[in-house]
Amino acid sequence: MSRPAPSVVGTGVASPSPGGAVRGCPVATVTLWGLCQRRTSVVGMAWNVVIAGGGFGGVHTAKHLARILPKHSARITLVNDTNFMLYTPLLPGAAAGTLEPRHVVVPLRETLPDGVDLLVGNVTGATPEENALFVDTIGGETKRLRYDQLVVALGSVSRTLPIPGLAEHALGLKSLPEAIQLRNHVLRNLELAESTDDPVTRRAALTFVFVGAGYAGLEGLAELQDFASEVLDLYPRARVHGMRWILVEARDRVMPEVGPSLADFAARELTARGIELRTSTTLEEVTDRTARLSDGEVVPTFTLVWTAGVKPHPVVSKLGLPLAENGRIDTSSSAAVRDTPGVWAIGDAANIPDPAAKGKRPSPPTAQHAIRQGKTVAINVAAALGTGSPVKFKYKTRGVVVDMGQRKAVAMTMNLKWRGTPAWFIARSYHLAMMPGLGRRGRLLADWNVGLLFGRDTAELGQLGHVPKLDQGEHALPIDGAKNGAGPVSAGGAPSQTADASASGDQQGS
Ligand SMILES: Cc1cc2nc3c(=O)[nH]c(=O)nc-3n(C[C@H](O)[C@H](O)[C@H](O)COP(=O)(O)OP(=O)(O)OC[C@H]3O[C@@H](n4cnc5c(N)ncnc54)[C@H](O)[C@@H]3O)c2cc1C
């Protein structure tokens, strides 16, 4: 790859002459306002490295780059749509109320090293032929970021299918607002089951269906079932009826991200808890009170959680980059985007060949892979800028932990399988070690121990996202409106679609 000329630090505009030398000026100087100036650490020639996406891949790229690039040789800018990184493996814990939602995120300004600038805004497009990335900032400005090297790490969104009723009635578990919404939804259904005199409504309120048995579905269902079982004693009528939890998976086994033996292990743990596993089964239709499965059963339920896979973030298709058939960015095993010099892609958005499958399939969309790809791409970006030599992505999964609630987990470390309390201890220690920052770790420890000692909170705070107008008092709260709520029973006996957690609102209210 040919080395482009660096840009002037701080301007983000087109590069001056190659190498920064300007006629009439001595070497080690730059021209500013037509004057020759000595290169300093504040203003001087440097490369512009832009990282789009501040999740697992983006943050690890930034940290590693800041470590390996010569000091002040590059201006590293990380662009993310929020000022925090979501630690997704702990999202099911937030959904189950084991963890305070604010404790499963990592504030980017606290975790990014010196030398990395954060720009909060939405990446909206790019023109790779002009080395430019477009960002809408939270103030409404559109910025054109000029880069010498661009790393795309924009992650993924839930992959939905054209199943009737899915878009209208299903809940997701991919973001923090969705996790909080889910917890409130489960609690509201327990309240509904307790208060209704209609046995059909009670049955639907106490039936929870998850579709998709990957990390998100399995951990999400396991944690929420564990939480609901723990608090069910507080609901005497619901307790007599009992709950039903169903996990539906189109493949013939759970956890496609891990090997079959550990997946079997996790499946046995779930069935031992009374959870119904429906493998080789698909969802055919959803209504506001039923889920129809491919085996013909129509399950009465107000809760359908869709966790059946991910696809690259939609903005990825607007970056002018070559895409593979699966919609991920077409990348080589060094994370370089094909036919696009100076552009790299990693994580869920990239199609980097999986070394564990000898490159025959793409790397699985896991944080483990995104983190290691971040390190690989940092080395390769540095090499492209003249520091060190390029490497290929070689990581193979060494272990896996699947947290399933209080004192329950399955884990595999260096071919050793663990279950129950030892696995749970390994899972928590692993997340504790991986969570950046002592303060964040302390918060996790505090939440886990408070939960163990005193149980989990059962307050349903969905209404906090809907602040009544001053002159409207409590009646400003919508009684029916948002989808997926199983709130007070309406005249017809169906659950009215209550003030469910809106994304931003619930996040604030948590
Ligand atoms: C519930 C759940 C549990 C999981 N558990 C595990 C687990 O236990 N172990 C494991 O290895 N993996 C797990 N995963 C998978 C893991 O979260 C992903 O594989 C990983 O986050 C991918 O990293 P990434 O950097 O590609 O994307 P992300 O970490 O998602 O980062 C992408 C970033 O880009 C930002 N972004 C997106 N679009 C824009 C835009 N237009 N402009 C600006 N910024 C944007 C996003 O806000 C985000 O910060 C889990 C996933 C889920 C949903």
* Residue of higher predicted confidence among 408 and 325: 325
The values of phi and psi at residue 419, to 5°, are: -145, 170
pLDDT over 90, % of the chain = 67
| Residue 223 CB–ligand 1 contact under 6 Å | no
pLDDT beyond 80 at 405: no
- 422 alpha carbon to ligand 1 midpoint, in Å? 27
The reported pLDDT for the residue numbered 142 is 96
- Closest approach atom of ligand 1 to CA 365: 19
Place of tokens 């009528």: 237
57 has pLDDT over 60: yes
Angle made by CA atoms 203, 176, 140, in degrees to the nearest 5: 130
> In terms of Cα–Cα distance, which of 207, 202, 209 is closest to 237?
202
Centre of ligand 1 to C-alpha 168, Å, is 24
405: Cβ contacts below 8 Å, ≥ 6 apart: 96, 98, 222, 223, 225, 226, 227
Q: Residue 482: is its pLDDT beyond 60?
A: no
pLDDT confidence band for 415 (50 / 70 / 90): confident
Choosing from 366, 393, 413, 434 the residue with most ligand 1 atoms within 8 A of its CB, the one to mutate for a pocket test is: 366
Predicted confidence at residue 266, as pLDDT, reads 84
pTM of the model: 0.85
Examine the pLDDT at 237 and tell me if it is beyond 80. yes
Residue 268 vs residue 112, higher pLDDT: 112
Q: What pLDDT sits at residue 377?
A: 98
Residues 45-52: what's their mean pLDDT?
91
CB-ligand 1 contact for 371 (6 Å cutoff): no
Give the mean pLDDT of 96-102. Answer: 92
Q: What is the pLDDT of residues 122-155, one digit of tens each?
A: 999 999 999 999 999 988 999 999 999 999 999 9
Q: How large is the average pLDDT for residues 166-178?
A: 95
- Enumerate residues 6+ apart whose C-beta is below 8 A from 113: 62, 63, 66, 67
State how far the alpha carbon of 94 is from the alpha carbons of 87, 161, 333, in Å.
10, 26, 35
The answer, yes or no, to whether any atom of ligand 1 lies below 6 A from the CB of 149, is no
Specify the pLDDT at position 5. Answer: 54
Mean pLDDT of 191-212: 97
From the CA of 195, how far away is ligand 1's center (Å)?
38
Amino acid at site 452: L
Cα angle 192, 195, 196; round to 5 = 80
pLDDT of residue 263: 83
- Helices then strands, counting H and E runs in the chain, come out as 13, 24
Per-residue pLDDT band at 6 (split at 50, 70, 90): low
User: For atom 5 of ligand 1, which residue has the closest CA?
Assistant: 89
CB-count exposure of residue 441 (10 Å: 0-12, 13-18, 19+): middle
Among 9-13, 54-58, 297-301, 391-395, the minimum mean pLDDT is found in: 9-13
Kindly state the tokens that stand for 369: 């892979």
Which class for 240: exposed (0-12), middle (13-18), buried (19 or more C-beta within 10 A)? exposed
Q: What is the Å distance from ligand 1's center to 30 Cα? A: 40
Minimum CA distance residue for ligand 1 atom 6 = 89
State the distance from the centre of ligand 1 to the C-alpha of 174, rounded, in angstroms: 8
Residues 385-411 have a mean pLDDT of 87
Which residues in 28-64 are b (16+ Cβ under 10 Å) and which e?
ebbbeeeeeeebeeeebbbbbbbbbbbbbbbbbbbbb
pLDDT for residue 222:
93
How confident is the model at residue 502, as a pLDDT?
37
> Going by CA atoms, what residue is nearest to atom 8 of ligand 1?
89
Q: Degrees (nearest 5) of the Cα angle 143, 144, 147?
A: 130
**Best substitution site from 154, 354, 371, 395 to test ligand 1's pocket, by max atoms within 8 Å of Cβ?**
154
Mean of per-residue pLDDT scores for the chain: 84
How many angstroms separate the alpha carbon of residue 459 from the centre of ligand 1? 28
Token reading at 311: 């696809």
Q: Is the CB of 377 under 6 A from ligand 1?
A: no
Atom of ligand 1 nearest to the CA of 310: 53
For ligand 1, atom 19, the nearest C-alpha belongs to 366
pLDDT at 41: 38
What is the structure's pLDDT at 131? Answer: 97
**pLDDT-derived band at 184, boundaries 50, 70, 90:** very high
Work out which ligand 1 atom sits closest to the CA atom of 403: 8
pLDDT at res. 399: 80
Map tokens 């956890």 to a residue: 255
How close are the terminal C-alpha atoms of the chain, in Å? 48
Domains of the chain, first to last: 41-158+313-384 (3.50.50.60), 166-308+400-509 (3.50.50.100)
Tens-place pLDDT, residues 275-319: 999 999 999 999 999 999 999 999 999 999 999 989 999 999 999
Is residue 504 scored above 60 in pLDDT?
Answer: no
The Å distance, Cα 153 to ligand 1 centre, comes to 9
pLDDT at site 79: 98
Q: Are 331 and 350 in contact (CB under 8 A)?
A: yes
Contact 484, 497 (CB under 8 A): yes
Helices in 6-156 by DSSP H: which ranges?
56-68, 91-95, 108-111
Does pLDDT of 161 surpass 70? yes
